[in-house]
Chains A and B, each alone.
Chain A
Amino acid sequence: MITGLNRAYQQISNDNGPAQLITYSFWGVIVAGMFFRVDPSCFPDWLIISWGAASAAVIPITIWGSKPLLKYTLLLDTVFSAYILTLLLMHTPHTQEFVYSIATLEGRTTASRGMTHHSISEWFHALALVWMSFHSIYLANLTQRQILEKKRFS
């Protein structure tokens, strides 16, 4: 069992080929689309579009681009994912919280229901972002190791 786990770990850490980069790129675009206009006050359109574009750029760069360019694109994607994750977790009111406009003696103001916890859906959105961040940094590291190994054999 340990041998199997060790073999699986070695295969994952030394995996190469464009398949998982292309899969990552598709998922990046899909997840970005899932966040589009969920809460424009939290995630501006330009941010989500830039994130989706960075993920989409991984496919052409994998096929035609250089390895260092691919590494930097993946790192940019990591920063985008991490930034959107921190925005999701730190933004008040929460992204799915209902906010009401009410008229008071001081004029119009906003009020919320006082939701103190993130919803389950929000936690899974956060999990998707955590996964995207770790996946992109793993792929960037894999690319860097490939560059270094190529240097070793050249």
Chain B
Amino acid sequence: MDYQQFLPVIIAVIGSAGLWGFLSQKAKLTHEKNMKDGATVAQFNETLKEQVEGLVRKVDKLSEDKEKLLLEMSDMKASLAEANLTIKHLEELLRAR
């Protein structure tokens, strides 16, 4: 077999592999840098959409938690008011004695 017969395929594979290696390495380095820096900016609309969906879920959960806390706080306020009233009543009873 004449080696010249394989020369075009060798050139094509080596050329493509070289260019791909460079681009792939560059993408990996950027990815690693972003991971290390904790970058939160999305490059693509697709990931941005996913990020927004994730944030919406977080906001929903936070609103739900806030509502629960507000309800618990109002219950506690009511209990406190009730306790204050009892204390005042007891104080008045003591003074009356």
Chain A residues within CB distance 8 Å of chain B:
14, 16-17, 75, 78-79, 82-83, 85-87, 90, 133, 137, 140-141, 144-146, 148-153
Contacts and interface: CB of A to CB of B under 8 A. Distances in A.
B16 A153 contact: no
Contact of A141 (B23, B42, B43): B23
Contacts of B35: 152
Contacts, number: 76
A149 B31 contact: yes
A79 B7 CA distance: 14
Interface residues of B, number: 28
A137 B45 contact: no
Contact of B27 (A16, A133, A141): A141
Contacts of A78: 16, 20
A144 B27 contact: yes
Interface string B1-34: 0000001110111011001100110011011001
B24 to A, nearest CB: 6
A138 B43 CA distance: 16
A1 B32 CA distance: 32
A82 B12 contact: yes
Nearest to A87: B8
Contacts of A153: 42, 47, 50-51, 54
A86 B11 contact: yes
